[in-house]
């Protein structure tokens, strides 16, 4: 059985794993994201330390972004204009490949998570679907005909523009765009708008209806633009149980009966769903990237 390495590069922590799928993770570790030099060396050391007992044939890396995915570019494999201090212009994929002498698969964390859901989760057998995460930031990955969508760069769904609620005076927290979807609806935006941690807000607080309206507007843009067969939505903010039903109903309201697809209109609970793979989705996506090499 072939084993693969996976690295999930998160802004707060890295996860490294060795395995071939959700039921076959033979070794795994998590550690804090610090400086690029220290963090990447820790990741490489993990795989080196397991080399005598677990031989891997490739490594996949699922990274926070933006990242360079253009193989013809001089900075392919780099993190580019990230707001994460110290991490802009870092050659992640090249460093790991050189240090381990292995081929490396490289993509955004959300594209990789989408790939994992397509391989083992709630998107098995679907040719086109979208994965969205709502947490410290908002990001989205799209699979078209079973392949992660790349283009000029990669999708930046969290930075789409959505109509502002007329009663919302919060200016937004995105350092680039202010009141884009991420700026209005990510976890830090909720905390700053209401001056309270999201997890401390009660279920009947107006924060959740406002959050659902913004997220539903973003999902409506995705439906109109990409027409996915399913939307998987995860991330820390979506752990609040009252939120998903509000988002589903808000999406139907935003679409206003224009999209007449029975899979959406008649079964919205199966159209907008939470991830099947839980907290391991990112590192499993990295393993799926390695598997495809």
For the stretch 93-131, pLDDT in tens is: 999 999 999 999 999 999 999 999 999 999 999 999 999
pLDDT, position 150: 81
pLDDT, position 1: 67
- For residues 262 and 198, what is the distance between their CA atoms, to the nearest angstrom? 34
φ, ψ dihedrals at 16, nearest 5°: -120, 140
Cis peptide before 66 (omega within 30 of 0): yes
- For residues 31 and 13, what is the distance between their CA atoms, to the nearest angstrom? 6
pTM: 0.91
* Other CB atoms within 10 Å distance of the CB of residue 54: 14
Among residues 85, 74, 157, the alpha carbon closest in space to that of 114 is found at: 157
State the helix-helix crossing angle for 36-49 and 92-100, rounded to 10 degrees. 30
Among residues 3, 28, 26, 4, the alpha carbon closest in space to that of 17 is found at: 28
For the stretch 31-85, pLDDT in tens is: 999 999 999 999 999 999 998 789 999 999 999 988 999 999 999 999 998 878 8
Q: What is the average pLDDT across 4-9?
A: 97
pLDDT, position 116: 96
The better pLDDT of the pair 149, 3 is held by 3
For the stretch 13-28, pLDDT in tens is: 999 999 999 999 999 9
For the stretch 242-262, pLDDT in tens is: 999 999 999 999 999 999 899
pLDDT, position 227: 94
Q: Which domains does the chain have, with CATH numbers?
A: 3-112+279-291 (3.30.420.40), 124-275 (3.30.420.40)
CA 226 to chain CA centroid, nearest Å: 17
For the stretch 192-239, pLDDT in tens is: 999 999 999 999 999 999 999 999 999 999 999 999 999 999 999 999
> Quick one: pLDDT band at residue 154, thresholds 50, 70, 90?
confident
Task: Decide if pLDDT at 151 tops 80.
Answer: no
- For residues 24 and 93, what is the distance between their CA atoms, to the nearest angstrom? 24
């Amino acid at each position: 059985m072939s084993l693969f390495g996976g690295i999930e590069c998160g802004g707060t922590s890295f996860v490294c794993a060795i395995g071939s799928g959700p039921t076959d993770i033979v070794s795994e570790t998590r550690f804090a994201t610090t400086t690029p030099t220290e963090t990447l060396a820790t990741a490489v050391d993990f795989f080196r330390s397991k080399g005598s007992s677990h031989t891997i044939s490739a490594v996949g890396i699922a990274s926070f972004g933006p990242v360079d995915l253009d193989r013809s570019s001089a900075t392919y494999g780099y993190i580019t204009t990230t707001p994460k201090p110290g991490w802009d212009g870092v050659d992640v994929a090249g460093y790991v490949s050189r240090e381990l002498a292995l081929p490396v698969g490289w993509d955004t964390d959300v594209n990789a998570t989408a790939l994992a859901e397509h391989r083992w989760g709630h998107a098995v057998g679907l040719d086109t679907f979208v994965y969205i995460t709502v947490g410290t930031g908002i990001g989205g990955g799209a699979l078209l005909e079973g392949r992660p969508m790349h283009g000029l760069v990669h999708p930046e769904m969290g930075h789409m523009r959505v109509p502002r609620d007329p009663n919302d005076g919060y200016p937004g927290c995105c350092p680039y765009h202010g009141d884009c979807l991420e700026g209005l609806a990510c976890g830090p935006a909720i905390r700053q708008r209401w001056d309270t941690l999201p997890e401390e807000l009660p279920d009947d607080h107006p924060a959740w209806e406002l959050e659902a309206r913004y997220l539903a507007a973003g999902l409506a843009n995705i439906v109109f633009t990409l027409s996915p067969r399913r939307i998987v939505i995860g991330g820390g903010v979506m752990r609040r149980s009252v939120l998903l039903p509000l988002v589903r109903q808000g999406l139907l309201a935003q679409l206003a009966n224009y999209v007449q697809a029975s899979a959406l209109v008649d079964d919205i609970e199966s159209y907008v769903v939470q991830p099947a793979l839980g907290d391991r989705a990112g590192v499993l996506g990295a393993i799926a990237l390695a598997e495809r090499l």
